[in-house]
Each structure stands twice: as C-alpha cells, then as structure tokens.
Amino acid sequence: MYTRRLPMYLILALGSLASTALGQAPRLSVTQTPYGETPSGEPVMLYTLTNAQGLRTEIIEYGAIIVSLFVPDRDGQLGDIALGFDDLESYVRRNPLFGAVVGRYANRIADARFMLDGVEHRITANAGKNHIHGGGNRRFDKVVWKGAPYRREGEVGVRLLHFSPDGEEGFPGNLNCTVTYALTDENALKVRYTATTDKPTILNLTNHSYFNLAGAGNGDVLKHEMQINASWYTPAGAGLIPTGEIHRITGTPLDFTEPHAIGARIAELTETRGYDHNYVLDGAYGASVLAARVHEPSTGRVMEVFTTEPGVQLYTSNGMKNVKGKGGKIYNRYFGFCLETQHFPDSPNKPHFPSTVVRPDRRYESETIFKFSTK
C-alpha cells in the first residue's frame, strides 16, 4: 500500500506562513516525517534539512533519494531544482533514477562480468548483455535504507545505512554501506559514502540527481552555462562501453574547459542524441577537486560540484519523454542534467583505469559536494 501526504508546495507554504507569523528566521535544522509504505509494507521516512539561508532539501529512505532541493535565486526566491515525483508510488514504480543513490556499481560493466583475483563473477545483465547501475530489483535505488538524523557544529544531516548480502545481483562480499547527506550554512550539500566488505569486491557509488537550475519542469537546460574541469574523456563504443582509450576533448563537442551553453554543440552528438559521456577530471584523484560549475542565466543560480572521484558522467536526459513529475509538470528530453561523480565505466575490465576494488582491510570512502550561490 501507499500512504499519501500533503503536496510539498502546501507544506512549504504553511511552514513559511507559520515562520512569518511567529517572526522566526530560518535556522539550521533537521526533521523527519513519515512518507508512506512500500507495496511490501516497509515504512519510509522523509528527512528535511534546512539552513539559515532557507535552502532546504528532502531525502527519503527509499533509494536514499533526494526528492527536492530548494535553492535561492539572485532575488532570494526559493525554487526546487531537483526533478522528481510527488509520491512514493511513483518512485517505486517508474523512477528513472531521479535523485537516487546508485550501486553497487554505477554506470556500465561489459558483458555483465568481471575477473577479481582470478575468479570470474557474473552479475545481472540489465542493459542488453551488459550491466548498468547495480542490476535488477535489489539495486540500491530500489531498497529502503535505514535513516537517522543528526546535527553537529556547522551542519545537519541524515545517515542512511544499507546491507547488501554476498552474492546479491552477482557481486561478492557482504557489504555494509552508509550514505550521509549533510547541509551547511555555506549552502553546501555534502554527500559522503563509506562501505566495508568481508570479501574482495568492486564498488562504484554515485547520486543520480537530475538538475534544472531554472526550476524542475521549467523548460530545458540547453541555455545553462557549464564548465567541466576535464581535459580528457573515455570514448565508448557499442552499448556505451568504454573502448579503453583515453582521448583529449580538444576540438570535440565534449569540450567544456571554458564555460558555454549545454545546447551550443549538443546537436553534433548524433549517436547519443545528447551528452552521456564520462569525463576524466583534472587534478589529484582522492583529493576534493572542482569537477564542474553550472550557471543558469535567468535565475542567476550557480551550482559547483566538488568530488574525490576521478570521473564525472554528464548526462542530459536524452531519452526522457512525457514524464509526469512534481506538481503535474511534464519532463521531456533535455529537461535535466546529471553530473554523476564516479569511477569510470567498465573499470573492473580495464586494468589501467583507476581501480574499483574494495578489500576487507580497507574502508571505501568517497565524497561529493554540491555548493550553491548566485551571480
């Protein structure tokens, strides 16, 4: 069964009126409320994080999904920049990964197989003969994580835990994962990933939020000005599986080393009908580096993405068509962009790519930060 709740725009309006009536300014806070139940009867909680500037985000335990992200424009007006749905049923039944944590392995693995320590592992093939985004019904965006809110100096957040048993979707090792969403008064949303395993395994986690800095459902993102700090990319062949080569982006429509509109050269990408490419980030892998900066001219909103990951996948919702989203708005092709910080696709089968192997004696750690401002 599913439990309904008030639409988000009514909750926000009532909250705003109450705060104004009481003369209260926003402050760093975290709350939790029921969001509904899955068809199997699992309860799902929603966590709301708010900072002193009024920036707020909502996260649900199902899929560890960011369901909303309200960010001020240059006039201080809040707008929800995260594509998504109004109810749990839509996330369960028809979600194209809006806001979700993806795992165990984000992106693609060729032939749904890999070798690890001389042993072949066959995993779920869910993209033709290949594997993508964790597999089938037990991939990380389709399970209920266990959340707990917290607050500490300078931030509030929610920690979400998930246990993935040995052999699930074909992956080896009992895996304990934690995803932490933390909001600061510097308008930064930090996403931290940690995991431990009892057997050697592979792991590649990311968040698959679709963003539109003009507001979710408010047209396409082709006029957004994007810069990606990457001089190289991993070319792909059939099924978007990397060839193993690493090429310079100079002279290609993938070159965002200088900021320009997303739509300026998108028509040149005839095979993918838009951007769906892995960029090799400049800078030291393992240190937090600026991966990308995006500016939306009409609202002045700016989003910067920092990460400890070696790559980022730019995806421009190329296949989206007539998806009914929040507030009844319809999402179509190019209505959102994703910046999926990650290790490279098919890394387990490309020994020269940065390794995605995790072993029992070392904890997996990764962090991505979304920081917001205006100009």
**pLDDT tens column, 94-145:** 999 999 999 999 999 999 999 999 999 999 999 999 999 999 989 999 999 9
Distance CA 41, CA 157 (A): 26
Q: pLDDT: is 119 or 3 the higher one?
A: 119
**pLDDT tens column, 61-92:** 999 999 999 999 999 999 999 999 999 999 99
Asked, for residue 299, whether it belongs to a domain, the answer is yes
Asked, for residue 30, whether it belongs to a domain, the answer is yes
Reference 143, options 60, 202, 209; nearest CA is 60
Q: What is the mean pLDDT of residues 158-167?
A: 98
Number of Cβ within 10 Å of residue 139's Cβ equals: 25
**pLDDT tens column, 330-369:** 999 999 999 999 999 999 999 999 999 999 999 999 999 9
Q: What is the mean pLDDT of residues 10-17?
A: 39
Asked, for residue 2, whether it belongs to a domain, the answer is no
Asked, for residue 354, whether it belongs to a domain, the answer is yes
**pLDDT tens column, 210-247:** 999 999 999 999 999 999 999 999 999 999 999 999 99
Tell me, what's the pLDDT at 24? 53
Query: Could you tell me the pLDDT band of residue 14, with boundaries at 50, 70 and 90?
Result: very low
Give this prediction's pTM.
Answer: 0.92
Asked, for residue 179, whether it belongs to a domain, the answer is yes
One-letter amino acid of 64:
A
Query: Could you tell me the pLDDT band of residue 20, with boundaries at 50, 70 and 90?
Result: very low
Give the helix, strand, coil percentages of the chain, each rounded to 5.
Answer: 10, 40, 45
Number of structural domains the chain divides into? 1
Asked, for residue 75, whether it belongs to a domain, the answer is yes
Number of Cβ within 10 Å of residue 237's Cβ equals: 11
Q: What percent of the chain has pLDDT over 70?
A: 93
Q: Please report, for the domain that includes residue 240, its CATH number.
A: 2.70.98.10
Residues marked as catalytic: 208, 340
Asked, for residue 347, whether it belongs to a domain, the answer is yes
**pLDDT tens column, 124-134:** 999 999 999 99
Between the alpha carbon of residue 39 and those of residues 60, 63, 77, 174, the distances in Å are: 16, 14, 37, 26
Q: By residue range, what is the domain housing residue 53?
A: 8-374
Asked, for residue 1, whether it belongs to a domain, the answer is no
Q: What is the mean pLDDT of residues 298-311?
A: 98
Burial class (CB in 10 A: 0-12, 13-18, 19+), 78: middle
Tell me, what's the pLDDT at 113? 98
Q: What mean pLDDT, rounded, does the chain reach?
A: 93
